[in-house]
Chain A
Amino acid sequence: MNSGIPVQYFLILATVMFFTGIYGFLTRRNLITILMSVELILNSVNINFLAFNRYLYPHKLEGMFFSLFIIAVAASEAAVVIAIIINIYRRFTTINVEDVNEMKF
């Protein structure tokens, strides 16, 4: 059971994915890419959940269920965000996040 890949590997993977997501979120200008970065962040969290669940409490399933919930929430969030992006496109004819800046002082 505990043979195979050590937990640090999972954590390193998750960290890399997480900061890749952050980096993408902060630097990409396209809203769709930003959404993809968010998904990356969420999935890195999922990996953490699963790894810790497996490593610390192999006979329990809370971590699994949490991941399932996060996946479901991420799916619905994606649907909502895409609807918002479509509306933004209709209004501004662009999905560049720098041009969508009307909500300011």
Chain B
Amino acid sequence: MINFSYTIWIPLLPFLMFILLGLAGHKLKPKLSGLLGTGGLGIITVLSYITAFKYFFTSEKVDGAYQKITALNFTWLQFTDKLHIDLGVLLDPISVMMLVVISTVSFMVHIYSLGYMKDEKGFERFFAFLSLFSFSMLGLVLATNIFQMYIFWELVGVSSFLLIGFYYQKPSAVRASKKAFIVTRFADLGFLIGILILSFNTKTFDFITLTNPAGSAIAQGGGIVFLGLSVMTWSMIFVFMGGVGKSAMFPFHIWLPDAMEGPTPVSALIHAATMVVAGVYLVARMFPIYALSAPVALNVVAWVGAFTSLFAAVIACTQTDIKRVLAYSTMSQIGYMMLALGVAGYGGHEGLGYMASMFHLFTHAMFKALLFLGAGAIIHAVHSNYMTEMGGLRKYLPVTHITFLIACLTIAGIPPLSGFFSKDEILAAAFHSNKLLFAIEYAVAGLTAFYMFRLYFSIFWGKDTQYHHTPQEAPATMTVPLIILAVGSVFSGIIPFNKLVTSDGKILESEIELMIAIPSVLIGLLGIGVAYIMYRKESAIPDRLAATFKYGYKWAYNKFYIDELYLFVTKKIIFRYISDPVAWFDRHIVDGTMNTIASVTQNFSFRIRAFQSGQLQKYAFVFITGAIMLAILFIYLWK
């Protein structure tokens, strides 16, 4: 047995850093606080890699399967003997993998921010929040029980809120942060209900007990039926609702594009690589329950994922704000991961989708963080978010150009880059499960290649825009993370995920199926080709196409009016027909009763106040009269 107790420092160190920078940050020099935060993350990255190495290569396997190791666990809140909430560190293939993802991307983003956020007001505040986020996210993935996960789940929500609203003088940023918090919080209500139903039926919060396929937890609760579905299915659907909110799946996706108001490194870290995949991680964490005891809920996961990936990809084709395009692309890719989980089964070859989902999560974190950081470098150079104001940037930003191109090729699924491998596994898993889902994902693969290269060509090629001042390549603190992440994007495809991260911990034999791989590469190339024709040089084709499909284009450009629908439902229906009457009732009936009581009392006392004359002898007279009355009363009536 290897001692893993040092892993407590992985979440604890960023927390201490947060306390330090949050309390004393304004007294330190900004540069020092930035370096402190980055250094802390560097240590965590090293620790995470050591943990991953020890876990995957030296820990004992039982029956060829990786074991879940509770490195540390202590009771935090003890209510009764059975009901207690623990905090601890759980190591298993997915949590260790997430450690690597989070620490790597977070470290890169920290380094990048040293350059990107330079001379910004609130530099140390930014790093304090980044540390808080790293703490919460690491605590989330290492959670030993679902309640600990829920606590950290809310904490990442708060840190996301703080970071989106980092430029709190900007009304749009404030609006976006509120929107993100409220929407995800609303979804988390479902998560909490799910936890309560689940733990009520299984009598435990603990993940190891919950997800043990042979354990009693999975067998329980399946028998009780409510509205045609088992209670387990309901609880899993509710738990998934939390994941839908955090991972910006339809219909709770509306916060993610607006969250792009935050600083770009934040978008890269939180809204692309780590926090938004928490929903995927949640489903993966509870996967044995989904697969063995709630297959209907798993179907819901698959269809929500598939729909979102298509929906977001269509919108991404029409947006012009580069960060928004990337946001929709993120939603689309997370939809892929959800779908892969949804079509997977537990154990054996059935578990291909599970492995593919985790694989895609890993590669996606690398290339999407790279894309966002690249977008940050572009915005830094051009001072605009809109691709219509860009063009021909390849001459000015050579490093950004190459790394961005690599990321685009990766997401388009061109071999031998990492995206190809993970996407291929997902498509294969979908193909073996449901042909309709496969068809959707196949179309999305083409759309993905198209919109990414639309972005790429419009930014780096296209028309030669005249800039007010010549765009400058970013400083080394920003380009070095780009290069490192580009290397990660290229080579992370060779990591043997089928040996390391599988649904039951055992080795999964899988190989690239040419029947699926070749068409998926072809459709990627087709998307790139179409984008090349339309956007390589300035051309009238896009405008003409938009004019031909006028209504379709308008719908997609306006994000299918989902935001407007939400506004309509909230403002016109909920506010007007529920909140307003309730407010009226509160103001007039509840407050009115109290006001009436108060004013009656006031009037009455106004009339009788002359009684309090201040004349001592009047008081004495009243008192004595009363005493005599009482005496008479006692003498004559008290018999």
- Give the contacts of B603-639 with A (CB-CB under 8 A): 609-610, 612-617, 620-621, 624
For the complex, give the distance between the alpha carbons of A101 and B612 in Å: 10
Contact A104 B616 (CB under 8 A): no
Query: Please, which residue of chain B has its CB at the minimum distance from the CB of A29?
Result: B617
Q: How far is the CB of B332 from chain A (nearest CB, A)?
A: 74
| Chain A residues, Cβ within 8 Å of B614 | 100-104
* Residues of B with C-beta under 8 A to A100: 614, 616
Of B609, B615, B617, B620, chain A has the most CB atoms within 10 Å of the CB of B617
> A26, B617: Cβ atoms under 8 Å?
yes
A77 to chain B minimum Cβ distance, whole angstroms, is 16
From the candidates B609, B610, B620, name the one contacting A26 in the complex (CB within 8 A): B620
- Where chain B touches its partner, the secondary structure class is helix
Least CB distance from A56 to B in Å reads: 20
Measured in the bound complex, the distance between the Cα atoms of B621 and A25 in whole Å is 9
Q: Are B613 and A26 in contact (CB under 8 A)?
A: no
CA distance A91 to B185 in the complex (A): 65
Measured between beta carbons, the chain B residues less than 8 angstroms from A98 are 615, 617
Q: Is the CB of A97 within 8 A of B610?
A: no
Residue numbers in B under 8 Å from A101 (CB-CB): 613-616
Are A22 and B617 in contact, CB atoms less than 8 angstroms apart?
no
Q: Tell me, in angstroms, the Cα distance from A25 to B619 when the chains sit together.
A: 11
Quick check: is A9 within 8 A (CB to CB) of the other chain?
A: no
Q: How far is the CB of B160 from chain A (nearest CB, A)?
A: 58
Closest chain A residue, CB of each to CB of B624: A22
Report whether over half of chain A's contact residues are helix, strand or loop; otherwise say mixed.
loop
Contact call A97/B617, Cβ cutoff below 8 A: yes
Residues in chain A near residue B616, CB distance under 8 A: 97, 100-101
Residue among A25, A26, A27, A104 making CB contact with B612, cutoff 8 Å? A104
B620 engages A105 (CB within 8 Å): no
CB within 8 A of B617: which of A25, A102, A103, A105? Answer: A25
Q: Which residues of the other chain, B, contact A22 by a CB distance below 8 angstroms? A: 624
| Residue interface bits A18-50, CB-to-B below 8 A is 1, else 0 | 000010011100000000000000000000000
CB-based contact A25/B615 at 8 Å: no
Contacts of B613 in A (CB 8 A): 101, 104
Closest to A22 in B: B624
A82 to B620, CA, bound (A): 19
- CA–CA, A100 and B624, complex, Å: 21
Chain B residue with minimal CB distance to A25? Answer: B620
Report the nearest B residue to A28, measured CB to CB.
Answer: B617
Tell me the nearest residue of chain B to A101, going by C-beta: B614
A105 with B615, Cβ < 8 A, contacts A22-B624, A25-B620, A26-B624 known: no
Contact A105 B612 (CB under 8 A): yes
Select one of A25, A102, A105 contacting B610, CB under 8 A.
A105
Minimum CB–CB distance for A26 against chain B, Å: 5
CA distance A102 to B612 in the complex (A): 11
Question: How far apart are the CA atoms of A44 and B617 in the complex, in Å?
Answer: 21
A95 to chain B, nearest CB (A): 12
**Alpha-carbon separation in the docked complex, A103 to B620 (Å):** 15
A100 to B612, CA, bound (A): 13
Interface string of A65-105 (1 = CB under 8 A from B): 00000000000000000000000000000000110111111
Q: How far is the CA of A12 from the CA of B130 in the complex (A)?
A: 93
User: Bound state CA distance, A27 and B624, in angstroms?
Assistant: 13
| B605, closest chain A residue (CB) | A105
A105 to B614, CA, bound (A): 8
Q: Which residue of chain B is the closest to A27 with respect to CB atoms?
A: B617
Q: B616 — nearest CB in chain A belongs to which residue?
A: A97
**Which residue of chain A has its CB nearest to the CB of B611?**
A105
Distance in angstroms between the alpha carbons of A104 and B624 in the assembled complex: 20
B615/A26 in contact, CB under 8 A: no
Question: What is the CA–CA distance of A104 and B616 in the complex, to the nearest angstrom?
Answer: 10
Q: Inside 8 A of A25's CB, which chain B residues have their CB? A: 617, 620
Write the nearest CB–CB distance from A23 to chain B, whole angstroms: 10
Q: Which of B609, B613, B616, B620 has the most CB of A within 10 A?
A: B616
- Expressed in whole angstroms, the minimum distance between the Cβ of A30 and any Cβ of chain B is 12
Residue of B nearest to A102 (CB): B614
- In the complex, per-residue mask of B209-237: 1 if CB is within 8 Å of any chain A CB, else 0: 00000000000000000000000000000
A8 to chain B, nearest CB (A): 18
Q: Which A residue sits closest to B609, measured CB to CB?
A: A105
Q: A101-B614, A105-B609 are in contact. List 9 more A-B contacts (CB 8 A).
A: A22-B624, A25-B620, A26-B624, A97-B615, A100-B614, A101-B615, A101-B616, A104-B614, A105-B610
Chain B interface (Cβ < 8 Å from any Cβ of A): 609-610, 612-617, 620-621, 624
Q: Give me 6 A-to-B residue pairs in the complex whose CB atoms sit less than 8 angstroms apart, sorted by A's number.
A: A26-B620, A26-B621, A97-B616, A104-B614, A105-B610, A105-B612
